Amino acid sequence: MPVTTVSISKHTTASLPRPHVLYIVDVKEGNRSYAVTRRYSEFVALHSQLGDPFTLPPKRLLVTTFLPSAWVDDQLIAERKAGLAKYLADLLSEESFRSDPALLNFLSATGSGSTRAFDLEDALPSTLPRKAAMVLLGNVEAKATTPIAAAYYPDWVGDSNPPENLDYSKFDILLFAFATPNSSSTISWDSGATSLLKRLVSAANNSGHGTKVVLSIGGWGGSYWFSNAMSSSSNRTSFVNACVSAVNTYGLAGIDIDWEYPNESGAGNPYSASDAANLLSFFQQLRSSLGSSKIISAAVTQQPWIGSNGSPLSNVSAYASVMTYVNIMNYDVFGASSNPGPNAPLGNLCSTSSQPQASAEAAFSAWTKAGMPASKLLLGLPLYGYVSKSTATHLYGTYKRPGKSIMRPSEEEEGEVKLNALAGEHARYKGKNRAKEPMVSAKAAGDLSSYYGQQIAFNQIVALGALQKQSNGTYTGANGYTMGWDDCSDTPFLFNTSRSTVVTYDDTYSLGDKAAYAKQQGMAGCFTWSLDQDDGYTLQNVIRSNLGK
């Protein structure tokens, strides 16, 4: 009788030769059911013997992003149970593997699985510190992972920020934005984008700084065909093949999926209750096709993807097993309005936010609780703000103390400003093509009225005279603007009541605080949207400093 179904819902432990995990595989053959116990390394041996194209949950000991504090036994074991069960189900779905003697022996009640000796990968995480494992593996010095400083490079900034002029020492990863999915489940490019991408890859490779270039696909205005591209096995295969072709053709380090958003309409896109599940299948197939060394990332909101029940997924461990990074877009929490709020809150620090789940702290909690390791999370930082037509002198949505703006200390008051003191929607850019137009010219120094209701780059706030850079590298209000500070979100804002203008944005202080938070939490690092909006490299330098780079 052939095996019909398998599942792994339980595990047990054994003590010899050292404490390790045994996964209980429940097997059904017709009306007969039984269970077999197998070690993780036995799955690895089966995978090697079959030479199949399917994906196992990753090894732990030799992963460069491993941090002991980011793993607990239950988290790793749950991830492996889900991944191993999916692997066996994939094998049984293919006739060529379903009848293979190696698989039949592996699933047999009388079979021995494999005769492999005990493997360190089988050990309980809590009994095997990374340093001890590295010693046993012959690598006495276990190096700590350095946080990553990444940035998005939009394809419309080739003239203002040519690849040949970039200082690549500032960036570990550059995400080239955007290619887009199309109706054929392949990818489309803006005019001139592929030529610019070639220049970016060439310049990065020639820089000597090891900067990796990743292709980002989608964006707020480019997510229309994602649901269709993921909707069937044939469509996913076409899309995977297009991604792999792009990686190979342009010498890329990987693929970033900026789908805004699975099972949500975003900018009016088609969507399906199956989107999140289909996205997982896509990631698994892409990982199998790209191999283990390439980057697979996704730009996401502060909450996990929306599942078929209409709620954020409670378990993303299967995604974690095949993804390199999850890029949290912690911005656009509040846009421009007569009652402006913070663009990118660090947290709900006064417990008064009208959007308590939309902050860096809330995002970290939501994603790690759902099973995404901290070491795979990149915190998104905006290098832009919003201009509101408003006479407000404080921020709304997180506000606590009426009638009072909190001022950052001046250099004289503070003595010495320490830039490294600890303390959305990226490209939810509603009019992407607008960024290709000439920058708006102010009628007079500090006149931002042309930007009412819109995003504004940090460097434009400076260029148009609302902010002025000080000798210590920080910024202060100019031309009638007062710099306020919202303690409840840990972000600055500018207000000028005579001009009826409020600017909500991030500066050296707030970006430094968020980068320091990412480092403290053991996150993979930070990324920015987008590098062309910086005032030179001032903001990027502060971010890198607070990441310990």
Q: What is the CATH number of the domain that holds 70?
A: 3.30.1520.10
Residue 26's pLDDT band (cuts 50, 70, 90): very high
Please give the Cα distance from 350 to 342 (Å, whole number).
Answer: 13
Q: Is pLDDT above 50 for 432?
A: no
**Is there a single domain that holds both residue 511 and residue 500?**
no
Q: Where are the beta strands (DSSP E) in 361-441?
A: 377-382, 384-389
Tokens for 478? 């100019």
| Residue that is written with structure tokens 């490019």 in the block | 189
Domain contains 406: no
Look at residues 411, 431, 429, 430 and name the one whose alpha carbon lies nearest to residue 419: 411
| Number of domains forming the structure of the chain | 3
Average pLDDT, the chain: 85
Each residue of 349-400: pLDDT tens digit? 999 999 999 999 999 999 999 999 999 999 999 999 999 999 999 999 775 5
Q: Choose one of 136, 170, 203: the last residue of a domain.
A: 136
**Is there a single domain that holds both residue 157 and residue 282?**
yes
Whole-number pLDDT of residue 95: 85
**Is there a single domain that holds both residue 376 and residue 256?**
yes
Alpha helices in 108-192 (DSSP H): 130-136
441: domain range?
Answer: 411-504
Domain contains 396: no
Give the number of residues written for the chain. 549
**Is there a single domain that holds both residue 180 and residue 316?**
yes
Whole-number pLDDT of residue 44: 86
**Is there a single domain that holds both residue 260 and residue 349?**
yes
Across 51-71, average pLDDT: 57
CB-count burial class (<10 Å; 0-12, 13-18, 19+) for 492: buried
Q: Where are the beta strands (DSSP E) in 116-219?
A: 148-154, 173-181, 187-189, 212-218
Ranking 269-273, 417-421, 536-540 by mean pLDDT, the lowest is 417-421
**Is there a single domain that holds both residue 259 and residue 200?**
yes
Whole-number pLDDT of residue 109: 78
Please give the Cα distance from 198 to 163 (Å, whole number).
Answer: 10
Domain contains 400: no
Across 39-56, average pLDDT: 86
Rounded to whole angstroms, the maximal C-alpha distance in the chain is 84
Q: Burial code of 340-370, b = ≥16 C-beta within 10 A, e = fewer? A: bbbbbbbbbbeeebebeebbbbbbbebbbeb
Whole-number pLDDT of residue 518: 95
**Is there a single domain that holds both residue 423 and residue 467?**
yes
Q: What is the CATH number of the domain that holds 258?
A: 3.20.20.80
Domain contains 391: no
**Is there a single domain that holds both residue 497 and residue 513?**
no
Whole-number pLDDT of residue 112: 58
Look at residues 220, 214, 225, 156 and name the one whose alpha carbon lies nearest to residue 187: 225
Whole-number pLDDT of residue 399: 57
Domain contains 440: yes
Whole-number pLDDT of residue 182: 98
Whole-number pLDDT of residue 273: 98
Across 211-231, average pLDDT: 98
**Is there a single domain that holds both residue 487 and residue 526?**
no
Look at residues 385, 368, 386 and name the one whose alpha carbon lies nearest to residue 377: 368
Whole-number pLDDT of residue 368: 95
More confident call, 413 vs 178:
178
Domain contains 390: no
Q: Is pLDDT above 70 for 339?
A: yes
**Is there a single domain that holds both residue 439 and residue 527?**
no
**Is there a single domain that holds both residue 229 and residue 214?**
yes
Q: Where are the beta strands (DSSP E) in 30-158?
A: 32-38, 148-154
Domain contains 141: no
CA 98, distance to chain mean position in Å, is: 36
Residue 215's pLDDT band (cuts 50, 70, 90): very high
CB-side exposure of 197: number of CA atoms within 13 Å? Answer: 25
Please give the Cα distance from 130 to 522 (Å, whole number).
Answer: 15
More confident call, 41 vs 315:
315
Each residue of 143-197: pLDDT tens digit? 446 899 999 999 999 999 999 999 999 999 999 999 999 999 999 999 999 999 9
Whole-number pLDDT of residue 21: 84
Domain contains 401: no
Residue 3's pLDDT band (cuts 50, 70, 90): confident
Task: State what percent of residues in the chain have pLDDT above 70.
Answer: 81
Each residue of 499-514: pLDDT tens digit? 999 999 999 999 999 9
Whole-number pLDDT of residue 267: 95
Q: Is pLDDT above 60 for 269?
A: yes
Tokens for 397? 């949505």
**Is there a single domain that holds both residue 343 and residue 358?**
yes
Whole-number pLDDT of residue 56: 85
